[in-house]
Amino acid sequence: MKDLKKTYHIKNCEIKALSGINLEVEDKSFVTVVGRSGSGKTTLLRVLCGLEEKSGGEISFIEGNSSKAGTKISMVFQEPRLMHWLTVGENMAFSLRKEDPDIIKHKVDRHLDLLGLKQFKDAFPRQISGGMAQRVALGRTLCYDPEVILMDEPLSALDAFTRQVLQKEIVKLFINQQKTVIFVTHDVDEAVLLGQKAVILEDGIIKKQIPIELPYPRDQAQDKFFKYRQEILKTIMGD
Amino acid sequence: MTVVIQRNCRRRIKIHKTLKGLIVPFAILIIWYMLSAAGLLNNYIIPPPVEILETALALLKKGTLSKHVMASLYRVFVGFSAAFVLAFPTAVLVGMASALEDYVNPLLEFIRHIPPIACIPMLILWLGIGEAPKIAVIILAAFFPIFLNTLNGVVGCDEKLLEVGQIFQFTAKEKFLKIILPSAMPSVIVGMRLGLGYSWRALIGAELIAASAGIGYMIMDAEQLSRPDIIIVGIIIIGVLGYLIDYLFFSLTGKMSGVKERI
């Protein structure tokens, strides 16, 4: 991302949501974006996946030394956004519309198994818990098999226990599937727990980038974990 | 096991509900019967229930009742189908191309407030006294509930679900078929149910004015022959048929679209 900008025009007011983001995300890396509400985290993801038009700057995907077109990007939203008229299995297959039915079935079954949703394959979204629904949303994205996964506070609406379980699952999936992940959160612990690099956003610009050099799975009781956490907090609070 | 228990429980609740719904009609019947037997009702104006039953059976035996019922059902079927064929695509078109709404809304609002019955004289002048004006009245009656509810369903599709389609690179056609249409289905079905009810009502009105067959005609004819028993049979048949059609329609569409529980 080079000098990425996004400005909203509301009535006669100009609101700069992103004021020049310069960020390099390495292939198959896990980046967490953390910041206060209104710092531009969600806008950044929405611009990256094309849900919002950028007002300026450049987004490029580079493979080797040349830029690569048609990179498959997907997003997991804050809410599961499942199709309520489809079953869990059908929701997982939602993005797979041009593939052979046998391949679709195989992909869905594999991801249902991976996310522990096999027995809920025929359940409707209203019949499963919030945590499970978010897992289905994650499964839907994984079935799509994107190169880049954007996650917009996908665990923020869940209870602490479910969130912990899903955090572990996301780490496991990242290690096994080797995707590029950009994960937005306002939870500093989550940012340290998941990311290989924490990007701190404030008022639409990057305030600091902190590489987190801790092996997975991470232990929140570790001294190093605490130090990273403090560093991010200090940056956000401006101390 | 739990599913079976839940299903049995649901069935029992349904039976209880049906039985509760039968109490008031039965009470009315008994009171009606007792008042007639006590001579408190003028049998010429309100014949006793037994006489109504006998008349209904006699009309059934002669084939008169089935002839009129079939004529009315045929008109409802044709008129309602035509209304759906016209209203559904129009609503989808207007809903998808929001710019169109400004052009067609005033005209549609104007027509919506005209009762279909008020158009019968004009329709007879234009279309003659055959089946066409009656079917046209049904189309007018059923068009707006189907149109407005479908439009609401299409326009009200959750923007967040559409974003999911956008993320997965859906084309406009895919977005419509896989997101907008299924999410609008409950509204479409509500519109169809209302349209069916309205078309049934409008049909009877049309048959009362200009027809040579149909339940409305049977009632009108009975009035001229001073046969209140046939009039009451006609009224009861209208209610029962309306109820049955609605029930059948709801069961069928509910099974097809899985929206029964959500309406």
One domain for residues B131 and B195 = yes
**Predicted complex ipTM:** 0.89
One domain for residues B95 and B139 = yes
B161–A51 C-beta distance less than 8 A:
no
- Report if residue B156 sits inside a domain: yes
One domain for residues B137 and B187 = yes
Return the residue of B nearest to A93 by Cα.
B168
Could you tell me what percent of chain B has a pLDDT over 70?
A: 93
Q: What is the pLDDT of residues A160-188, one digit of tens each?
A: 888 888 888 889 888 888 889 999 998 99
One domain for residues B175 and B202 = yes
What is residue A80's DSSP assignment? Answer: -
Option in B161, B182, B257 nearest A81 (CB): B161
Q: Which residues of A touch B178 (CB under 8 A)?
A: 83, 94, 97
CA distance A86 to chain B (A): 9
Mean pLDDT in residue range B3-14: 72
Q: What pLDDT sits at residue B195?
A: 92
Q: What is the pLDDT of residues A32-57, one digit of tens each?
A: 999 988 899 999 999 999 999 999 88
A85–B160 C-beta distance less than 8 A:
no
Provide the CA B57 distance to its chain's centre, in angstroms. 26
Provide the CA B111 distance to its chain's centre, in angstroms. 20
Q: What pLDDT sits at residue B256?
A: 60
CA distance A87 to chain B (A): 11
Q: What pLDDT sits at residue B263?
A: 40
One domain for residues B157 and B89 = yes
- Of A97-101, B69-73, B102-106, highest mean pLDDT: B69-73
Delimit the domains of chain A by residue range: 2-71+147-237, 82-145
Q: Are A47 and A18 in contact (CB under 8 A)?
A: yes
- Report if residue B263 sits inside a domain: no
- The CATH superfamily holding the domain A2-71+147-237 is P-loop containing nucleotide triphosphate hydrolases (3.40.50.300)
Q: How far is CA B141 from CA A72, B4, B84, in A?
A: 49, 43, 11
One domain for residues B94 and B183 = yes
- Report if residue B168 sits inside a domain: yes
Q: Which of B164, B173, B177 to substitute to test the interface with A, most A CBs within 10 Å?
A: B164
Could you tell me what percent of chain A has a pLDDT over 90?
A: 48
* Residue B156 in contact with partner chain A when CB distance is under 8 A: no
Option in A85, A86, A95 nearest B168 (CB): A95
Among the listed ranges A43-47, A135-139, B38-42, B99-103, which one has the minimum average pLDDT value? B99-103
One domain for residues B37 and B53 = no
CA distance B57 to chain A (A): 46
Option in B168, B170, B258 nearest A85 (CB): B258
Q: Number of structural domains, chain B?
A: 2
One domain for residues B98 and B123 = yes
pLDDT above 50 for B262: no
Q: What is the pLDDT of residues A65-93, one digit of tens each?
A: 666 777 889 999 999 999 999 999 999 99
Q: Which residues of B touch A97 (CB under 8 A)?
A: 170, 174, 178
Q: What pLDDT sits at residue A209?
A: 93
One domain for residues B209 and B107 = yes
Q: What pLDDT sits at residue B258?
A: 53
Q: How far is CA B57 from CA A225, B33, B49, B62, B157, in A?
A: 87, 18, 12, 9, 50
Q: What count of CB pairs under 8 Å joins A to B?
A: 39
One domain for residues B203 and B131 = yes
Q: Which residues of A touch B179 (CB under 8 A)?
A: 83
Using DSSP's 3-state secondary structure scheme, residue A63 falls into strand
Q: What pLDDT sits at residue B261?
A: 45
Q: What pLDDT sits at residue B22?
A: 87
Which structural domain, as residue segments, surrounds residue B11?
1-41
One domain for residues B1 and B89 = no
* Residue B140 in contact with partner chain A when CB distance is under 8 A: no
Q: Which phi-psi region, left, alpha or beta, contains residue B169 (left: φ > 0; alpha: ψ -120 to 50)?
A: left
| Average predicted confidence (pLDDT) for chain B | 87
